Structures are given as structure tokens and as C-alpha cells.
Structure 1
């Protein structure tokens, strides 16, 4: 039995027989590319309201507080969707589930192509948030089903990179669409693209051979014995581990910062710093470009550290936690500077550091969670950290409205979130240790 386990862990990916390694490996990368496309559209859907914000506020007569409600409404049922989608992830085939979710995205965006009022916009954003809630968790679950544990850091990071590529492409393209046509047309474009991606996933996407794998005892990977988790662990026990508590906290503060930048950065650049629409659209793309590159580089770095024998506490715990601490410092720094190159450099660097650790952090979660429970647990974690997306846009809207000036209001908001990031990430650094917690779960099972 021990020999069988060594042979299984050596195959690529998972327990695939040697003769089928190459076809399965090719399929894994095809599926990974489709997951990136899903994440691309997922985040383009999020950023479009921020890009269209000035026009929407003018057309509908919205103040910053009411516009903050529109931004926050996206997250009202996000946590419900995350948990529900995670639960369905273990019961509905990934091909049908993700295709259906992407189709709902398109349907929720379609009404925005016509003249709509405040209430309709809020309703559409709530539906979109419900459908998008489980996307990241499900995408990670599917990605991990195609790769063995020691190879998950890079694929996880590539999936997260799709979240940066989406706004990177969407920001300049949709800004041009808005200026050349209208903000309604921008929503129509995103809806059509979402429908196309849903069709492509239906044709080529699905879970991989690792989805049903489970074992007992120890798995041997690169000569190192690592604990193999049981098929199932009570959720209460899982969520009492330092790794899940710390990761939930880390994701919460990081996602609060991400949601503020997705929701408010285009308006901050235009209303707070005075950039014109075209320049703001191009500048918005910079943090996402940097984040897409950084998240992949950090995934490669984490994998290289693992190959050198460095433990998962460092590669999948301390590494992302330290980056969020540094991002908080950058956020505080740029909020206190005037418009200029130095401010934009710190803004971009802070965004890169904030996003770069997402992929390896999810890989750290997978080290602790049995394969068959990943959809549920990832969904719950996503639901927890999405609460940061509910609170953050509202807080920013209130601070902008109450500031002595628009620019000072934005500065106060980013200062608050920078401090929160440092505190939350510092706590996570002390809690996260995937190897320790996996060993405890394996022994008690």
C-alpha cells in the first residue's frame, strides 16, 4: 500500500496512470485557461460600475452615499451565494454549475443596457453578487482537482491572475465604450462576453481526477512524508484550526481593500485627484496589470521554496501574510501623498502586494481541507471575507461625503483600510500553519 501511494503521488496529476499523464496534463491546462477566462469576466463585471460611476451619478442624480449603496449591494447576498455554491460544488458537476453561474451573470447585467432606475440597478447588482459569490471558491476547487498538492501554488496563482487580467482589459476598453457610446453599452458588452465564456466553459470545462481522491496515512512527495487528510473532517474541527481562522481574517482585510479599489478607484482618480476619464481608465489598469504579474511570480516563488524543502507555514502562510502587511503600509503612504508619480507607484505596489498572495493562500487552505470538502469550505471562507466587500464600499462612501473635501475624504478612507490590513494580516501571521494543522487533523481522524 505504501508503494502504491508513492506511485500515485508521483504521477501527473494525481493518480493518473503513466500512459495517460500527457493527455490529462494537457486537459488540466486547457481547463485552467477556461477558469482564467471565467475569473476575467467575473472581475470585469465588478469594475464596470466604478468605470461608469460618474455617468451613472450624473444621470440618476446620485450622491456618494447612494452610489456607495449601489457598490455595496453587490455583496449583500455574496456570502449566501458563496456558501450555497460551495455546497452545490460537492453535488453538481462543475461543468454545469459554473456554466449556469456565468449565464446568470449575463442575465443580471442585461437590464443595465437600457434606461434603469436606482432600485433596478441595486436589484441587478444583488443578483450578480449572488451568482458571483461562489466563483473564486469553485474555480479553486476545480483547479486543485487537476493538480497534486505540491503543484497547486502556481495553478492557484494563475487562476487568481485572471482577476487582475479582467479589469486590466476592461478598464481601457470599457472606458472607450462609455466615452464613445454610453455606460449602458458598456454593460451590454460585458453581458455578451459573459454569455460567450459560459458557452466555452460548457464545451471544455470540468473537474479533474483529483476531485475524488482521498487517502489515509502519509503521502510521499519528493521524498518527504506529509500527512494525508481523511475523506471528511467535521466542519467545527476544521474551522477551529489556526490556519482557517487566520486565512479567513487575512482574506477579509485583503478583500475589503480590493473591493474598495474595484468600487471607488476610478472615481477617486477622477473626482479626488482630477484626472480626465481617459487617463483615469488607463491608470485604473495599472494596479491590475501589476497584480496579475505579481500573483504568478509569487506562485512560482512559493513552488520554488517548497522544492527546496521550506515548509508550508512559510510558503503558504507567512509569505502572503507579510505581503498584506506591506500592502497596508503602502496604502497608508499613498493616501497621505499628493497626486503624482510617487503616489501612483505606491498605489500600484500596494495593490500588487495585496493580491499577490491570494493564490498561495488558497493552496494553504487546500493543505488542510479534505478534497471532498473543499467546495464547501472554500465557499464558507469566501462568504466570510466577502463581508469586507459589504462594509468597505459603504464606509468609503460615508467618509468621502463627510470629508472636508472629496480628496481628503478618499484619503481618510484609504488610511482606515491600510491600518485594518496591517492589524488583520499581523494576526494571521501568528495563526496560519497548514502543516501543523493537517498533521493534527490526520492524527485525530
Structure 2
């Protein structure tokens, strides 16, 4: 079995070439697995604040608003760091760029273990955010380098779904470690996991054929007298990408859904514990439930939509309408949360809403990657994901304020989730009106 075959009716420059069709599916998915491993480590570093929030708050005397502020400041530097993805991809190989970032994540929280204070917590989390900012765009670029555009929905689902794997597999472990040995042990254990990834990455990773570097090398081979397998695609004006209806409307959509993701990351265990009455260990273990729903729906939607697009379905149908329907379901479900009294029903409702919203990320990311030539993928995804992170900049702190001022903790959390649900539904409607990847790709190519 091979990957990278040409899609009917698509130019070689946009989907692949004869040379890349010889890349084995096994190798492509093996390389994807290495990036997924990195994404698991990456997301565990994000999620650990939610796991340790309550013991950390008790030790340092922090309010909900202060914990929320720490979460939002993380996404401030995360947003800034996102704009560094393009320059890093330009001056470093994907191998070394991601290695530098991975090593940084592994050590940057350790000073908090030695000297715990609110200031140190803020500094460490902000440095972590800056290092993680470029990572998502570079990990998507690394994954896409092994898969043709028509086949990026499923690998994108596995990549984004690895965030769910981190919560499913690691959150209960981190919760147990925190309960048994304290929050410091949870941070140290993540540093050791990062060190293990470094070894695997250095020994196993290489870039795939769907990159600007591969296209350039192929073109140079043609100049030397060998037949060209890749038709090099000219760069397009950055402005034409960023002002397209698809880019702008989808950026707003993922911004809102990412706000939901960051509130889940920062506050879900606290909601389960102090809002719904579960124990700390139960709350940490149940942290995985929304992610299980999200992971299943992302993989199913990624596989089905990839099959649809290879059979000739329009990108707008597959990568715009399908995720928007999911977000509309998410919004409708979350608006009901304040009306639910039974704790287990609230947990299941939130899990279903989160799961349907999560399918937006791999499908919309794949749609955005279609808008630009390969050499501009990292820069385009970097800006797109940096804009997405603005949702994380606002939502955790705002949730903390709502919880501090609500009649009860449970009411505050439910109101916060309900508000995000309403905004998500509005954003989905706007995307349905303004986004069309096929149309915008043609317009952007015309300006090259």
C-alpha cells in the first residue's frame, strides 16, 4: 500500500507526484506516529495545570481568578510564539526545530518545583507557552509532509486526537501521582517523559516528500538532467491567504472552540471536584471522558471525510460543512448545561458537547493547508493557530472570574460552558456563510 497518489482532477503541484506515490503507507504512518508521540507530550504539559490546580491553589493560597489568569497568560505567550513557526521552519529543519522545542518543554517547568510561588508559576507557564506556540504548526507541517492534501484529514485527526490520548492515558496517571506524591512529582514525571521522546525523535525522524525542501530538491534534480517529478508551485502573497473568507471565518470558529478546549484544560478537574462533588482522584480520572468522545469522533470523521474527498467530494462539504454541523451540535448541547442537576448527567452532557466540537480542528486545519503552496504551509498554519490561541488567552481567566462571582461553583462553571456554546454556534453559522476552500484556493493561486 502506498500514500501520496494523485487525486483525480488535481494538479501535481497541489497533491503530490509520481515520486511521492512510491512512499510506503507504513513509513508515512510510522513518521506520523513519532509526531503523535510528541503531541501527547506537548498536550500533557498543557494539561498538567488542570490536574494540579487545586493542590497548588491550596499550597499557595490562590483564588480561582488567579489560576485562570495563569492559564490565560500561558496562551498570551502561546499566541506570540505561534508567529515564530514560519521563521523557525525557514531557518531550521523540522527535525531540529521540534527537538529544540521539545527539550524546552521538558525543563521549563522545573524551577517551579524548586521555588514555588505565584510569580514563578506565571513565569514558568509563560515560558512554556512561548515554546509551545510554534509547535502545533510545525507538527502539522511535519505530519503533512508525509501525506498528500487529499489524505490529510485522518492523519490530522490522529495528530489533534493525541491531545485526547494525553488526557485519556496520562491524566489519570498524573492525578494518581499528584494525590500520592504531590504536584511536584507530576511535573518531574512529565520532564522524564519529554526526555524519552527526545531519544526516540533523534533516532527515528526524517522529513517526508510533501515539503518545500523536497520540491526544491526535485526541481534541482530536473535541472541536472533528471526528469522532474514535482512541478514547483510559486509562492503567493501572504495577504491573499490571510484575508480570504475561508481563513478569516475559520480562524474565528477555531478561536471559539479552542476557548472551550482551554477551559476544559484549565478548569475541568476543578469543575468535577469542587463543582460536582467528585474526589480529586475521580476528577482527574474523569478528565479523560470528554477526550474519549472527541477522539472517537475525530478519527471517524477524519477517515470518512478523507474517503469522501478522494471520491470527488468538494472540500467545502467535507472540511467546512461537516465540522460546522458538529460545532452546532456542540453549541446546542452546552447551552443546556446550567439546567442539569445530576452530576453524572452534567459530565456526560459536557463530554458529548466537547466531542462534537473537537472534530473542527483536524478538518479545518486540513482546509487551511489547502489554501497555500507547500513552502508556505508552516507560516500559514503558524498564523492560523496563533489566532486560534486567542480563545485561550481570554477564556480561562474569564471563567475564573465567573466562578468567583457565581452563586455557586457549579453554577459558575456551567454558565461559562453555556456562553462558549452560544458563541460556537454563531461562529459555525458565519463559517457556513463565508468559507469555501476550493473557491479561495483558486483566487489565491490566480494572484501568484
> Distance in 1 between the 2:368 and 2:21 partners?
31
Give the Cα–Cα distance (whole angstroms) in 1 for the partners of residues 249 and 100 of structure 2: 32
Match of 1:309 among 301, 307, 312: 312
Structure 1 segments unaligned to the other structure (5+ residues): 216-227
Q: 1:437 to 1:229 in 2, by over 3 A?
A: farther
- Residues 172-211 of structure 1 correspond to what in structure 2 (within 5 A)? 172-211=172-211
Flag the 1:18–1:364 CA change in 2: closer, same or farther, 3 A.
closer
- Counterpart of 1:167 in structure 2 is 167
Deviates more, 1:33-42 or 1:408-417: 408-417
Please list every run of 5 or more consecutive structure 2 residues that lacks an aligned counterpart in the other structure.
1-5, 217-230
Aligned to 1:414: 417
* 1:92-116 per-position Cα deviation (integer Å, ceiling 9, x unaligned): 1000000110000011122233341
Name 2:380's counterpart in structure 1. Answer: 377
Quote the offset at 1:238 in angstroms.
Answer: 0.9
Relative to the length of structure 2, the TM-score reads: 0.90
Partner of 2:16 in structure 1? 14
Aligned length: 427
Cα deviation for residue 10 of structure 1 reads 8.6
Write the distance in 2 (CA, Å) between the matches of 1:111 and 1:52: 16
Kept in 1: contact 2:20–2:209 (CA 8 A): no
Contact 1:254 1:354 in 2 (8 A): yes
Which of 240, 244, 255 aligns to 2:243? It is 240
2:277 paired with 1:274: yes
Counterpart-to-counterpart distance in 2, 1:117 and 1:18: 52
TM-score, normalised via structure 1 length: 0.91
Matched, 1:140 2:140: yes
Report what 2:127 is aligned to: 127
The answer for the alignment partner of 2:363 in structure 1 is 360
Distance 1:342 1:18, change over 3 A: closer
1:416-431 map, 5 Å:
416-431=419-434
* Residue in structure 2 matched with residue 258 of structure 1 by the alignment: 261
Instruction: Give the corresponding residue for 2:220.
Output: none
Looking at structure 1, the residues matched to 82 and 12 of structure 2 have their Cα atoms a distance apart, in angstroms, of 33
Shift of 1:170: 1.8
Q: Which residue does the alignment assign to 2:65?
A: 65
SS in 1 for 2:335: helix
State the match for 1:109 in structure 2.
Answer: 109
Paired residue for 1:83? 83
